[in-house]
Structure 1
């Protein structure tokens, strides 16, 4: 378990940064009409380019969703740029500035996102002075990173708040804890089981359509077929699995299962850190309020621990 950093450890990690290196942000258009932001320090770089991948749903390049702004990925990118690491982050197909990049929703899967990530890695690799690449995925973006790392050579992998169990198991756990009528919960769990078995489900009750609408079912079935720990087992890369112990969406058990997938995976369990990488109060309402607090800094352990891996590759 990772203890809260002391003032001494924070000072030690600050030596990883390049003081005074102002950041230069560039808007980029990637293949498939994807839009993103390339962020580089104006000072000396380290030759490392890192692609940041956002989580599930309509999450944009900065880690935000409509009505919820936390800027977690933007803050991570800025911290990495301060340390001399070139970063690229992009809006997923159908999200924010990449809205035009999606055709039919039923044609979209995690493999589609992984192919987009592979092309984004090509863009990073083409940047002057970049000789190696890394992937950083948050939440579902960690699963995309695991898939993308099989498509392009990368030097390191960072999995933040990434599910360690198949997605159906995670969703079953979330449905079990959700405040909903028991008959609706039973219907949801029944649909989940049918999708997990590879079946298309036409008879979805209206309250469950946002989660199980027919057009999103191909995405869910493909996602349910993936085991993140099995994917990681086949990737012999320097890897950090970081998980906040105050995360309401992904658990420490997920992180432990990922870290146990093979030898050499670094595990960082961070007391007090929530899903959007903030130091959270103990109460649920206070935790969730941080999903819409862009001015709150990242948890003090987050960036130093990531840099400890990336600067060494």
Structure 2
């Protein structure tokens, strides 16, 4: 009994040591209005410079942990950060402008552009550089954040760039393709194409078809954002990235197809391509069945897909 107790206490000590490995620092960037708020996660007792990964979130009201009010509670970015720290790599993740503790930095929707999010990421990179604490700075962008990261990696000198579940085609091509698959009148599908054509030319739409689907896509207040977003096509932007690149994609992602990653890799042949079987858009194992796949979006207990953290750690 005494030996069992000793083993138990020893194991408990190891567990406590494991949970104490990582340390958090809160970082706040003041803005003209409000702040951008982030979490720097570091391995404990780091006495030398180590690599750091900036995690850029995907589309929508996404917080630093990869969750949003749109019933997404997967904690994917938090798990990534913890996985990195357990392997001697620091990370910085942050609430997007207008979300969580960065809520106060939100501007009117009509004033928001794609460049706003690029500039936010640039501020975080600049902060990491000025800290002079890190041996390498790597950008990791998930989903829409993949494109944001591509542009930042062109403008600022970084040591690596990672795209996770990032599209290769422009947002207009993707939405038009998704629209074609929906049960909608041909008149609506054709209107989506016409409206994107106008926005892509840099012009606002003079009027909208009085259909809710059209208004939800092209309401006047979102048009400046769409115009700025349409300037960028990921398969073209990744060609301009000079830093070493890693492209990661899961085979059961129902939001971004596996072929998107292959198109990115074709555009940048020097990039490493990592395809993870069974990984979906929340970076968890899931089947292709849509209903079952979506269940992972609201399950924070599921671990990340095996091979994801390992692949990133090896790259870093």
Identify the TM-score tier after normalising by the shorter chain. Answer: 0.7 to 0.9
**Equivalence for 2:152:** 148
Distance 1:194 1:100 in 2: 33
Alpha-carbon shift at residue 48 of structure 1 (Å) = 1.0
Alpha-carbon shift at residue 289 of structure 1 (Å) = 0.8
1:205 and 2:210 correspond:
yes
- The superposition leaves residues 87-127 of structure 1 with CA deviations (integer Å, 9 ceiling, x where unpaired) of 11111112222121122222222211111111101222233
Alpha-carbon shift at residue 275 of structure 1 (Å) = 0.6
**Equivalence for 1:34:** 36
1:294-309 alignment, distance < 5 Å: 294-309=300-315
1:248 and 2:254 correspond:
yes
Length-normalised TM-score, structure 2: 0.87
**Equivalence for 1:105:** 109
CA contact (8 A) 1:59 1:65 kept: yes
CA contact (8 A) 2:285 2:305 kept: yes
Length-normalised TM-score, structure 1: 0.87
**Equivalence for 1:49:** 52
Query: 3-state DSSP class of the match of 1:87?
Result: strand
Higher radius of gyration, 1 or 2: 2
CA contact (8 A) 1:175 1:189 kept: no
**Equivalence for 2:165:** 161
1:79 and 2:83 correspond:
yes
Alpha-carbon shift at residue 135 of structure 1 (Å) = 0.2
**Equivalence for 2:242:** 236
CA contact (8 A) 1:125 1:131 kept: no
Alpha carbon RMSD of aligned pairs, Å? 2.0
Alpha-carbon shift at residue 302 of structure 1 (Å) = 1.0
Where structure 2 has 5 or more consecutive residues not aligned to the other structure, the ranges are: 1-16
Instruction: Give the stretch that moved more between structures: 179-188 or 109-118.
Output: 179-188
CA contact (8 A) 1:138 1:162 kept: yes
CA contact (8 A) 1:43 1:84 kept: no
**Equivalence for 1:195:** 199
Aligned length: 293
CA contact (8 A) 1:46 1:84 kept: no
Instruction: Give the stretch that moved more between structures: 223-232 or 173-182.
Output: 173-182
Distance 2:24 2:210 in 1: 45
**Equivalence for 2:140:** 136
CA contact (8 A) 2:254 2:288 kept: no
Distance 1:281 1:264 in 2: 31
Distance 1:183 1:259 in 2: 36
Query: 3-state DSSP class of the match of 1:248?
Result: coil
The structure with the greater share of residues assigned to helix is 2
Query: 3-state DSSP class of the match of 2:131?
Result: coil
Instruction: Give the stretch that moved more between structures: 151-160 or 184-193.
Output: 184-193
